[in-house]
Amino acid sequence: MNKIETDVLIIGAGSGGLSVAAGASQMGAKVVLLEGHKMGGDCLNFGCVPSKALIATGKAAYGQQHAAQYGVADAPGDVDYAAAKDHVADVIAQIAPVDSQERFEGFGVHVIREYGRFISENEVQAGDAVIKARRIVIATGSSPLVPPIPGLEDVPYETNETLFDLRDKPEHLLIIGGGPIGMEMAQAHVRMGCKVTVIEGEKALGKDDPELAEVVLQTVRDEGVVIEEDALAAQVSGTAGAIKVEAKDGRVFKGSHLLMAVGRKSNTDKLDLEKARIKPSKTGIKVDDQLRTTNKKVYAIGDVAGGLQFTHVAGYHAGVIIRSMLFGLPSKAKTSHIPWATYTDPELAQVGLTEAQAKKKHGPALEVVRFHYNHNDRAIAERKTKGLIKVMVVKGRPVGASIVGYQAGELINLWALALANRMKMGQIAAMVAPYPTIGEINKRAAGAYFGPRLFESALVKRVVGFVQRYIP
């Protein structure tokens, strides 16, 4: 048995684990990194990267089919599905070196390509190695949740871990789950020439502002996706190419392929947590606000910590624990400033409180300002006028922003900055945005907040009148 001692042991080489490994090793800590599957984790290999690459294929096809509005002849936009998957694989391959074993070994990280499991409070076994560490970071991420629907075990189905290896274009893709993953893949596939039916047990995009979510859902419906809500899957049957999903209320949906997109589950099964006195939670591993587990030598970050499951959250968590682990400084994780985006067309993005959440928390102190894309000159020039921004403001400070429309995932960055730094609307209004840009939408939203205060104020008008009459 090979025995290793280290300062920091990281279990999992996804976004969070790699961020900790890079930071800790370059700042002088001795680091061991374990990965039993693929470097880069879910985001690089099965999630964010391949899904956005496939969405790009769908956008290209859709753009050819709807070019006449720009004075260019429409074209069929036929998609070679296997070639599209080659495009996805090439995108992954271009990014992979950034997450590679070789790169991290170049930082001085000792990379072991094995799964790790606890054998004591500060020891982990990985293959024939036993690693004893002063601090341990669990960054094992999450996997597709496959619910125990009767019959599913006998029917072929895809998850995000298998979908991007599929080479033959589905004739009719059934998607169980109408969240961000389900809706992104639904639109991408209908644009690539597939029939698509989304089967959602409650409301599609139910975690987002319903007014803004409806803009996305109606667009996706208009493009040909059938969205069946309040359709809880109760039975699955059939064989490859002929699959049937029956809902609890008796509705029946038939298709050639099935994609499960109902959520994620934290990867804890291989860890033997009890041997390290680490308590699980309902959604992953129990952590405090410093991301420490019930074993104070062990941290859990990213999806496995059981909170918001986004790649950028794992990266944020890495920064939080590096401050604590390496420098002994107090550092707490917050969620109020964490944005997220759904990369449909139009995009849907959120940071902080939604309108409903803000009303519940702040009551009559809340002001909601709105600005529509169809008043933005660049959006008009690009024919991207569908959408709006809503900013929730309390006593001059934004407490949340919701955006649906072109580049919403980019626009939300400014509001994430504002919430993280407790900025005021006046600071947003003071920004000068180049003309014409989509980014002007953010400044115009701030203008919508101050407009009534300036243009409808009797006091302002009296001051202006006085200056004009008496000040030379």
Residue positions forming the annotated binding site for FAD: 52, 116, 140-142, 303
Nearest to 267 by CA among 41, 8, 52: 41
Backbone dihedral region for residue 356 (phi beyond 0: left; psi -120 to 50: alpha; all else: beta): alpha
Q: Dmax of the chain from CA atoms?
A: 91
CA distances from 384 to 70, 72, 162, 346 (A): 12, 16, 33, 9
Distance of CA 67 to the CA centre of its chain: 30
Residue pointed to by tokens 């020439």 = 193
Buried b (16+ CB within 10 A) or exposed e, 405-420: bbbbbebbebbbebbe
Nearest to 394 by CA among 430, 429, 362, 420: 362
| Contact (Cβ atoms closer than 8 angstroms) between residue 259 and residue 251 | no
Annotated binding site: 52, 116, 140-142, 177-184, 200, 263, 303
Nearest to 280 by CA among 263, 298, 256, 261: 298
| Contact (Cβ atoms closer than 8 angstroms) between residue 414 and residue 402 | no
Nearest to 71 by CA among 381, 458, 460: 381
- SS3 breakdown of the chain: % helix, strand, coil, rounded to 5? 40, 25, 35
What value, to the nearest 5°, has the Cα angle with vertex 295 and ends 293 and 296? 80
Kindly state the DSSP code that residue 375 receives in the 8-state scheme.
Answer: G
Beta strands in 61-208 (DSSP E): 110-112, 117-118, 123-126, 129-138, 142-144, 172-176, 195-199
Kindly state the DSSP code that residue 344 receives in the 8-state scheme.
Answer: S
Buried b (16+ CB within 10 A) or exposed e, 333-360: beeebbbbbbbbbbbbbbbbbbbeebee
Intra-chain end-to-end CA distance of the chain, in Å:
90
Annotated binding site for NAD(+): 177-184, 200, 263
| Contact (Cβ atoms closer than 8 angstroms) between residue 385 and residue 375 | no
Rounded distance, CA 16 to CA 30, Å?
Answer: 17
